[in-house]
Amino acid sequence: MTAPNGHPKHDHPYETADRAGRAMLARMTSGASLNAAAAAWADWASHLARAPGRQMELAERAMRNGAKLAAHAAGLTRDDPPFRPRAEDHRFSHPGWSTPPFSIWQQAFLAAQDWWDAAAEPARGTDPHNSDRVAFMARQMLDVLSPSNVPLTNPEILQETVRTGGGNLMQGMRHLAEDIRAQATATPAETASGFAVGRNLAVTEGQVVFRNELFELIQYAPRTEKVHPEPVLIVPAWIMKYYILDLSPENSLIGYLVEQGFTVFAMSWVNPSADYRDVSLDDYRRDGVMAALDAVGKVMPGQKIHACGYCLGGTILSIAAATMARDGDDRLGSITLLAAQTDFTEAGELMLFLDESQVAFLEDMMWDQGYLAQEQMAGAFRALRDEDLVWTRAVSRYLMGKEDEAFDITAWNADATRMPAKMHSDYLRALFLDNRLTSGRFAVEGQVIALKDIRAPMFVIGTEKDHIAPWHSVYKVALFTQNELTFVLTKGGHNGGILSEPGHKGRHYRIGCRTPETRYTDPDSWYARHPATEGSWWPEWARWLAGKTGPAEAAPPAMGAPDAGLPPLCPAPGTYVFMK
């Protein structure tokens, strides 16, 4: 018998006590493994200690940075500061940062940041993963010490304090007290967003026509007299609520599809409790995606189904599609993947949190809880962009006294879900750590599956600034498939790039199609060969779907299939979406 990591499994009579201790520690660290962090620093430091040339290089860099900083402090470089913030760092955008003494404090911080960027580059022999983790942790520590976080060294806070007579600090203290109370009582803080599911979010009209223990299936009501004959099934990620694709009416992707004459079904995943601890990744495939396909087939029998998966929903859809192809199940008319990865060798900054030590630590915490809690997963995502999502927000809310801005996507982002312990462990190990899906080692029901068996055409979306599913990683599905594949690269991030409705200002996209006979093109070459087109990618997808589903000349189907045991159960957005 083997353990999850593939090593022989031995009986350890006190293993339960060890796991309980690690689980308690994991709760204190929000799931971050101290051993993984220490190992990264030790690997980096030991190799640097054996590289005297690299040490001299860093010492010279420190002296050069110090000299540049001294010259700036002396007023010799005021019009051309030696260090500049990263393009995505907006903490120093206030004009007050260009005048002393604030400019000196800013430059000192950026000089230290420049030195650590160089220091974290791996010395020969260092594990690149450890070097990346050290760079990440160094950035986290520096961000704590940023002068933008301190009222006396931030010109914007000082200006606001003078303007309001200290009212901003008083309001900020009230915000802090509210957030501490909410954290201590495990209740969500009250917001002035005005957004609520069923009122102005997830309001596209429809009916729940199927429900099991994992999901509800929503069928959306037609808005056109005639519809395309074949339906669209949306498989969202189970990590968040489905209505990211049905936000406000003006940016609802589901609403847009319905308006284009498509019959749309969407899965709304359950928010699992500890009772779901033993639900597996394959349960999500079998009792989730496959059960949804079965239900859609009963509502619209004899029609091909055009499935669309978002993020992890796209990953599980790819697994289901490859399994169907292996087994001769040809119900899929096409497959659309929205910011979804199938290969995880270049899975982006999330890999900073994942190695054997970290996954084992998370597994011990989930063994105790039965699930991964919303706030534990959300903390990892916030850490990836802490200067914006943590420190900039803290300065704005607690020192500037401002309310959080009201956006529909912000309300959705706060409405996360839990993940069952076994399922989360399954996909962390099988996909992120072992990358089994594209290496020929992912088995479903005892038999290995392969993406190259998929014959249904694909429409794949990557987003330019995706921290969760980098577009180079999303693009790699082209390397492991042999079907017709249209790839689109759109402006924006993991969520913002998908929510790119027609009329959205400043949007562009690139699009290209590969036929089964086309030779592989690497992502950078593909990018160079496909110029940007201004506007939204949504109409491109609608046209592509229309070409696959047939013209909109059919009568809309009935809601549900009462004769097949699928009567409408309740109006959209259903009941699972409200589970906390």
| Whether the Cβ atoms of residue 306 and residue 334 lie closer than 8 Å to each other | yes
DSSP state of 453: G
CB atoms within 10 A of CB 270: 22
Q: Which pair of tokens denotes residue 525?
A: 């070459």
User: To 10 degrees, the CA torsion angle through 337, 343, 347, 350?
Assistant: 80
Place of tokens 């089964």: 516
The beta strands (E) that lie in 262-341 are given as 264-269, 305-310, 332-338
| Whether the Cβ atoms of residue 336 and residue 309 lie closer than 8 Å to each other | yes
Q: What share of the chain is helix, strand, coil (3-state, %, to 5)?
A: 50, 15, 40
List the Cα angle 188/192/197 in 5-degree steps: 70
Q: Which of 308, 311, 513, 570 is catalytic?
A: 311
**311 is a catalytic site residue:** yes
On the 0-12 / 13-18 / 19+ scale of CB atoms within 10 A, 463 is buried
Q: Supply φ then ψ for residue 568, to 5 degrees.
A: -55, 135
Helices (H), 145-278: 155-164, 167-185, 253-259
Among candidates 457, 494, 506, 502, which has minimal Cα distance to 478?
Answer: 457
Annotated catalytic residues are 311
